[in-house]
Chain A
């Protein structure tokens, strides 16, 4: 979502619009510090960009959504976003805030990020459609453009077992080794087909249950 504060005349409005596009493009190129294959935008972490006029130049305020509350990479991300946005001509100040509302869930990850994660060796989180008994006619649009094609549909209140596809061989014969991995947002699985361990992004805020070993 992008919000521009009321800005004086037509030419500064055009200027602000230009800056907004440049900021968006810049953010598309800020990779996640732990998963550089995908950008913060693709992960759905950019909540709001505000362009505020200040003395014939512009201040940029960016609200980011942390994936995990205690993710130690947040400070790195803040610095990287500031470093990338500040050189944009006309920008005098960049302010990056982490906000907890709306909360980040794995539904916010853009469809374009999914094959990139897989190619990087990380299975993307399950993409589920929750089927409500009476779908609201005017549901809010998804936060990041078109939703990813759903892999499965679940009824409200129900859940499905998390069973990611192996990013190396594509098999679905995979077992959960450890819900915890090298970063907060990743778990470790084992592929019984190609016999490789692999990582998978933890589903957050979606109705899944974890495999229990027999």
Chain B
């Protein structure tokens, strides 16, 4: 398999470059949204230790998003902030699961967020992310492979965190088990949106830029099944969402979040921070 050692090695190969850009936007936009939804919990988490933990996960994950956008800079000729905040709605590639709101309300106005949903989505996303990063460590695009290895070391702690909550809540009260079960049903409706690779799937896999959707789906489901079995909760059915986000279709809540994240930046993109 051909390996691409640097941006220069791929930037003049239109098919390879556009597939790589597609994949990097999936990685970047997923982490951007996970970090943003996590940051909306700040001050609202169940206890102060959790505020420390969840905001730390948010910070690391935003760092991962920024790194992916930085890898996109030489391939797109745009800077990371513009890539994160100034694209049109249909250019975003995050999966629907990560753009879903935390619950009714807004973080600054009557938030009625569901902690069970945060726990199950955290468990599902970080399980998926671990498997995706491990597979990306052998990407044919060397800068991507190196970044994946580095992030995997850090992400170990994120997954541990959600596994801990999942285990402890599932061993606590009937209400906790009932709410985890309900949250799992919502999360699993959107779960297949994670591994969809979008319109350039064939090229991404053929050039070895990233793993196939089938490989990630199989490994993620196997890992999650083990988690449900361990705590004796029944494995919910997978949904079949009308769109995944990878093709550029998004929910209004997802687009509203982008608008909010970029609100200040769009006022004066030239300002130095």
Residues of A within 8 A of B (CB): 68-72, 100-101, 103-105, 177-182, 184, 188, 202, 204-205, 210, 212-213
Contact = CB atoms under 8 A, between A and B. Distances in A.
Contact of A103 (B59, B63, B150, B161): B150
Interface stretch (B103-111, B151-159, B205-213): B151-159
Given A179-B157, A212-B164, A71 B52 contact: no
**Is the contact region of chain A dominated by helix, strand, or loop, or is it mixed?**
loop
A70 B153 CA distance: 13
Contact of B146 (A103, A178, A182): A103
A69 B69 CA distance: 13
Contacts of A103: 146, 149-150, 153
Contacts, number: 65
A205 B153 contact: yes
Interface of B: 49, 52-53, 56-57, 59-64, 66-67, 143, 146-147, 149-151, 153-154, 157, 160-161, 164, 167-168
A173 B62 CA distance: 35
A178 B56 CA distance: 11
B146 A68 contact: no
Interface centre among B56, B61, B67 (most CB of A within 10 A): B56
A207 to B, nearest CB: 11
A137 to B, nearest CB: 26
21 contacts: A68-B63, A69-B63, A69-B64, A69-B147, A70-B66, A71-B63, A100-B143, A100-B147, A101-B146, A103-B150, A177-B49, A179-B53, A179-B157, A180-B56, A180-B57, A181-B56, A182-B52, A184-B56, A184-B60, A188-B52, A212-B167
Nearest to B51: A180
A128 B80 CA distance: 38
A181 B55 CA distance: 10
B161 A180 contact: yes
Contact of A70 (B52, B53, B64, B167): B64
Given A70-B59, A72-B59, A100-B147, A184 B49 contact: no
The 3 closest A-B pairs by CB, nearest first: A70-B63, A180-B56, A180-B53
A181 B52 contact: yes
A184 B153 contact: no
Contacts of A177: 49
A70 B154 CA distance: 10
